[in-house]
Amino acid sequence: MQQQKARKKFFKVNTIYKYFDEETESEYILEPSNEFKLDVKIDYNSKVLNKSNAKLDNINDFHDKISDARTFVFLHEIKELIEQGLIKGGNLNNAIVFVEDKINPKDLIKLAKIFDKKDIKVKEKGILNNVELRYDNEPARHKLLDVIGDLALCENHIQGHLKVTKPGHKSNIAFAKKLNKIMKKEAPIYDPNQIPIKDINQIMEMLPHRPPFLLIDKITELSDNHVVGVKNVTINEEFFNGHFPGAPVMPGVLQIEAMAQAGGILLLSTVSEPKNYLTYFMKIDKVKFKQKVLPGDTIIFKSELISPIRRGICHMFGQAFVGEKLVMEAELMAQIKKIN
């Protein structure tokens, strides 16, 4: 296991989100919390696998309390799984097989061949080959493990308390997709005390823009496919002298320009000597202004690639937030060209 250097991105839960899968009757409730917590309840309406639950209040406990919880299956499901070419790596050491009905001796012989065992027995608790549970609630712990694994599909780490009833991979993935859609509409978490990825001096080393037309103050996130930039709006901006006297509002076109400059950092990060390139607009589409931007506001620009960068052309979707409010969004296309 190796510690990664990349900064974690978090989705801070500020309200309650609910999801219910009618087909599986799986229920997900995500509530605000200062850290990630997970509660799982299982109920298979089974004679041998009772209702149970598992909790994880600290992700640091995952290794010692959750990671060794084995997968499980009901005996009547095994035949179908084998026919589908699944569970090839399954055995009675890494999986628990629950048996709800009596098995005739012939079937026990077949199972012994499947699992490469001399003989197979069923104990009173209905577990194949007398396998001992590592925990009384080991199946619930494994389902909790599954939920954590499936939530890795989410773009950001969750900072909230998730309560799940009757989880399964299908419903877990559906919930993760729902969260991803919510995350795309959420403002990035901005901590002004955090050291930026690029400060104003580093930005000026990449962008040719200079005051009063340099409209990005810092870059707080930067990856191969997204960028987050910050613009502090003050009454000292020259455009407020005429837009509008007595009622200052940041012009929408300058909001787009600021977003484009943040996107320019993403685009110029793909070349070895960015100072030798200029960035040009090719297209602006689907622009929506939703709230006024006023002196004293801090705008957070989040832009993500719509398609991979090719031949110096970048197509991205950008959003601008003030606090938690979305104030503007647009699709931008730009191209970098080397200065002759």
**Catalytic (active-site) positions:** 169, 243
Return the H-helix or E-strand segment holding 130. Answer: none
From 6, 64, 61, select the one nearest 36 (Cα to Cα).
61
Name the phi and psi angles at 127, rounded to 5: -115, 130
Any idea of the CA torsion for 222, 225, 230, 233, to the nearest 10 degrees?
A: 160
For tokens 């009173």, the residue is 124
DSSP secondary structure string for all residues of 34-79: SS-EEEEEE----SSS--EEEEES-GGGHHHHTTTPPEEEEHHHHH
Per the DSSP assignment, residues forming a β-bridge with 320 are: 301, 328
CA 87 to CA 71: how far, in whole Å?
Answer: 11
DSSP code at position 251: -
**131 and 92 Cβ atoms separated by less than 8 Å:** yes
Token code pair at residue 130? 């007398």
From 48, 35, 66, select the one nearest 146 (Cα to Cα).
66
Return the H-helix or E-strand segment holding 287. Answer: strand 277-289
For tokens 């685009």, the residue is 267
- According to DSSP, the β-strands at 37-42 and 157-165 are parallel
| Alpha-carbon radius of gyration of the chain | 27
Distances (CA, A) of 81 to 74, 107, 200, 201, 333: 11, 16, 58, 59, 48
